[in-house]
Amino acid sequence: MLPSWMRPEGGKTADDHRDIPRGCSDPSAGAVFLTKLLRLDTRRALAAVRDDPAVSIEAGSFILPPLVGLAAGTVLFRRQRAGWRARDFSGSVNFALFAVRGNRMVLRTLSEKRLGALVTNEHGRAELLRNAKRDICTAKSVQLTHMDRDSSLVSNVLFNAVAEQFATGFVQRELGVPWVKCGRFGLGLAYGPEDANWRRGGTKMRAILASETTLKQIVTLAAVGDAAKIPSGTPGSFNMLLRLAEALNVKPEAAPETEPEPGKFGATRYRLKGEPVPGVAVGSPIATWMELCVPGGGPAGGHDRGGPDERHF
């Protein structure tokens, strides 16, 4: 139950018509002032402030502390958020598997390795970071990292890091162990915000892994031009797989029968929001094909991002 001084007009009490005390001699002036504001008696409250500045002092003693605390908290929150967004996680490479499950785009983190352990040469790391930051992904420009030279060397470094996780599958296949499954996957490198939408969070490097089946499915959807069939989830992930498919020259499973309607995806260049500006990328994209073999269950570890339906992906 509300206290008597906060009851609505229907529950009047004996002190409902109490005037706001004048001067600082009565310490309840601020309390009565706030009471009348809470009870929407703003006319008398503001009149008291106008007629007697002492009431303003008393009311301010109630109002200013929470306002100051709110302002300080807001400033601190914004500074912390800005500091987080400015963080650079390029010292490590996140290896993630992208896939389409039903009508959703999901990704699974396979591992995360220090860049220094992958590229042991300091000059090589500096060159890779320089090119990655030049080709940084944003909401308006999604692209793979390109290098003027040595792109194949970086691709091999990523190749070896991924192949190490699936070594058991290769050995079992050579030994003739049944139920070993193998498939062809595309592998590329991108640099951008930590968030999969490429919009927020600290910047990081992400090695993108996607099966040939997934890449063909993505390219076919873009070529057909039906935006309604694009998997839901993170738009940055869909556009990134298109960039990887282009780098690996993946073709649609079937050519579209008709040209897409105006405003939809282009049939050849996948005119999506996030396509890099022509002429920005210099050199060759860091992308390659690789074969992966897994025994039953595949390598352990990792986690999904894509909704509750993909927990066991």
- Which pLDDT value is given to residue 19? 52
In which band, very low, low, confident or very high, does the pLDDT at 211 lie, cut at 50, 70 and 90? very high
Distance separating alpha carbons of residues 257 and 196, to the nearest angstrom: 33
pLDDT tens, 264-290? 443 333 444 445 555 556 788 999 999
- Which pLDDT value is given to residue 304? 46
- Which pLDDT value is given to residue 40? 45
Laid out side by side, the sheet with 181-193 consists of 287-294, 181-193, 203-211, 88-101, 104-114, 303-305
Estimate to the nearest angstrom the gap between the alpha carbon of 291 and the chain centroid. 29
User: For the chain, what are the domain ranges?
Assistant: 4-83, 89-310
Please say if the pLDDT value at position 241 is more than 50: yes
Terminal C-alpha separation, the chain: 51
CB 80 within 8 A of CB 51: no
More reliable by pLDDT, 137 or 228: 137
Average pLDDT over residues 27-52: 57
Average pLDDT over residues 23-27: 47
What is the SS3 assignment for 105-134? Answer: EEEEEEEEEEHHHHCCCHHHHHHHHHHHHH
- Which pLDDT value is given to residue 273? 45
In which band, very low, low, confident or very high, does the pLDDT at 20 lie, cut at 50, 70 and 90? very low
Q: What percent of the chain has pLDDT over 70?
A: 54
Length of the chain: 313
CB 206 within 8 A of CB 194: no
Average pLDDT over residues 67-74: 71
More reliable by pLDDT, 186 or 32: 186
Highest-pLDDT range among 143-147, 149-153, 225-229, 296-300: 143-147
- Which pLDDT value is given to residue 240? 87
Average pLDDT over residues 222-231: 71
- Residue 119's contacts (CB-CB under 8 Å, 6 or more residues apart) are 125, 128, 154, 157
pLDDT tens, 176-201? 888 899 999 999 999 987 654 445 55
b/e 62-95 (16+ beta carbons within 10 angstroms → b): eeeeeeeeeeeeeeeeeeeeeeeeeeebbeebbb
pLDDT tens, 86-133? 566 678 899 999 998 888 888 888 999 998 889 888 888 899 988 888
Please say if the pLDDT value at position 245 is more than 70: yes
C-alpha dihedral sign at 172, 177, 181, 183: positive
- Which pLDDT value is given to residue 254? 65
Average pLDDT over residues 224-237: 69
Please say if the pLDDT value at position 58 is more than 70: no
To the question of pTM greater than 0.75 for the whole model, the response is: no
Query: Hey, which bits of 230-295 come out as E strands?
Result: 284-285, 287-294
Q: Which two tokens stand for residue 137?
A: 């992904």
Mean pLDDT over the full length of the chain: 71
Distance separating alpha carbons of residues 28 and 35, to the nearest angstrom: 10
153 CB-contact burial (10 Å; exposed 0-12 / middle 13-18 / buried 19+): middle
CB 151 within 8 A of CB 211: no
Q: What percent of the chain has pLDDT over 90?
A: 19
